[in-house]
Amino acid sequence: MSRYGEPAQPRKVNGYWYLVRRVPAEYAKLDRREKVAMTTRIRIADDPRGVAARKVVARLDAELRLYWKDLKAGRNPEGVQRHQWAQETARRFGCEYVEEAALQEQLAELIKRMETLELLSPVDQRAARPALLGEVDSPKTGTKVTEMLATYESILGASLLRKSPAQMKRWRTTRETALGVLVGIAGKSKLVRELTHDDAFALRDYWNKRVLAGEVLIDSANKQIGYVAAMFREINDFQRLKMEDIFHRKTIRGGEKRQRESMDAEHIQNVLLAPGAMDKLNDQARGIFYVVAELGLRPSEVCGLDESTIHVDAEIPFVQLTEEGRELKTANSVRDVPLVGVALEVMKAFPKGFPHYRDKADVLSAAVNKHLKKNSLLQREGQSFYSLRHAFKDRLRDAGVKDELVDILMGHATGKEKYGRGYLLKMKHDVLTQIAFKAPAVSFGQGRGLRGPGRRLDCDGQALPQEPGMAKLGRRGRRKAVAPRLPAPVQVALG
């Protein structure tokens, strides 16, 4: 039986695949059933591995979660479901659902539907009559605009379970911000099915004014509109509201996706990897920076590494980029990348990864970008920490590496069907060795470069003595002056 916080799995019951879930404690007073069992109507014999059943179970699970949330919000989910059934049934007979009062005014259509019913058996007549003659009242309640995000999250259900807690927090935060603007425009009491083109135009006008005021870029504004549009479309489709897409063609024109600036390999080697250039960063941030510079990995990918995905003792040292515990950007991001150069030194020093920044790539990027700008380490305007990844692609191209292998090392789609075993780790290793940087004079080789508060190391990894008056790190990480230590007085024995 699947737990509420886990992806639903098909269960075998009497020769069929079922969704089986316990009613969560928070809904126990509203739904008195101890457990819920819903059939997929798929025989185990027809789908022995449950491939098709998993898709149906995911849909049923989303509907069940939404049902529970409707109960908690005081809505009548049975009324909504019955109205949806009436709409679907009417469509099966080649017509749209029309409520009884409106149908009485369409005499020709009413006669046509009565004739259709007369062709059915008595049992089928009783079943189809409410749908064809409009006898099912439209539900008086529905999803409010303020509830769009919660409903959207329930609908997506299983697809969001791959995200880590931090990823889910960021996912919700961005959409809460976007939805908050629509709520301010449409009002807290408005239902989703009551939204109109005027609301969508008002949303666009809001963001258009902010673009004109120089507060946001066009692409950022369109992204906010897109978040709301995605919620609306998913709810409209899932709840069979049959509404027109009011957000169609409602984005702001003129936006251009800005290309991130790359960096020259010479600048990375001579400036960013120069001794002392990154020493003001803490050890883990500095180590991640070196790995990104060498291998072009996404900062979030390096932050997510742990001892199960770092293999420095293998014949060819490498790291595995997997979706274990967090969602990667794309399916192509799953890959094995050999360790070379300074990246190998770093991972030997951090065989268990970087726990301080695990699932905190945004915190890392903010710290690194601040350091780069404050110390004038960037070549030109528009560059950032992420420019190292673009530089990695340029280095591969300059070395004459095939486009397909470049995309594989970058974690991008190759645009081709996958055949055969793919590129061996040794082939990747040879390519990366060819373009590897020379490690900084003080890096992480043989324990060098690992620093503690107030500790300094020479090029051989030996601790240097504290100089008189040298700044020292306090408990909160702030530097404070240290008084020079006077030599102990010499005691002279008197004869």
Span 218-238, pLDDT tens digits: 999 999 999 999 999 999 988
How much is the pLDDT for 427?
Answer: 92
When computed from its CA atoms, the radius of gyration of the chain, rounded to whole angstroms, is 31
Residue entry with tokens 């009324």: 79
How much is the pLDDT for 494?
Answer: 37
DSSP state of 67: H
Q: Which CATH number fits domain 265-447: 1.10.8.60, 1.10.443.10, 1.20.120.1200, 2.60.40.1120?
A: 1.10.443.10
Average pLDDT over residues 5-15: 84
What is the rounded CA–CA span in Å between residue 100 and residue 464?
89
Is the per-residue pLDDT at 325 higher than 70? no
How much is the pLDDT for 92?
Answer: 86
DSSP state of 363: H
Say which residues have a Cβ less than 8 Å from residue 363's Cβ, sequence separation at least 6. 357
- Which long-range contacts does 484-490 make (Cβ < 8 Å, 24+ apart)? none
What is the rounded CA–CA span in Å between residue 155 and residue 76?
18
Is the per-residue pLDDT at 322 higher than 60? yes
CA distances from 32 to 8, 23, 25, 26, 413 (A): 21, 8, 10, 11, 48
Q: Please give the full DSSP string across 94-141, using - where no structure is assigned.
A: TS----HHHHTT-HHHHHHHHHHHHTS-HHHHHHHHHHHTT-SPPPS-
CA atoms within 13 A of residue 454's CA, in its CB half-sphere? 18
What is the rounded CA–CA span in Å between residue 471 and residue 482?
6
Domain ranges of the chain: 11-132, 145-238, 265-447
Q: Please give the full DSSP string across 155-195, using - where no structure is assigned.
A: HHGGGGTTS-HHHHHHHHHHHHHHHHHHHHHH-TT-BGGG-
Contact yes or no for 87/240 (Cβ under 8 A): yes
Q: Which two tokens stand for residue 66?
A: 């939404």
Question: What is the pTM assigned to this prediction?
Answer: 0.60
User: To which H or E segment does residue 419 belong?
Assistant: none
**φ, ψ dihedrals at 422, nearest 5°:** 85, -170
Strand partners, 311: 318
Residue 340, SS3? coil
Q: What is the pLDDT of residues 430-455, one digit of tens each?
A: 999 999 998 876 555 544 555 543 33
Its sign, for the CA torsion 285, 290, 296, 297, is: negative
Pick the range with the lowest mean pLDDT from 105-114, 172-181, 470-479: 470-479
Q: What is the pLDDT of residues 395-423, one digit of tens each?
A: 999 999 999 899 889 988 777 766 656 68
What is the rounded CA–CA span in Å between residue 310 and residue 353?
8
**φ, ψ dihedrals at 361, nearest 5°:** -65, -30
Average pLDDT over residues 144-149: 92
**φ, ψ dihedrals at 310, nearest 5°:** -110, 120
DSSP state of 442: S
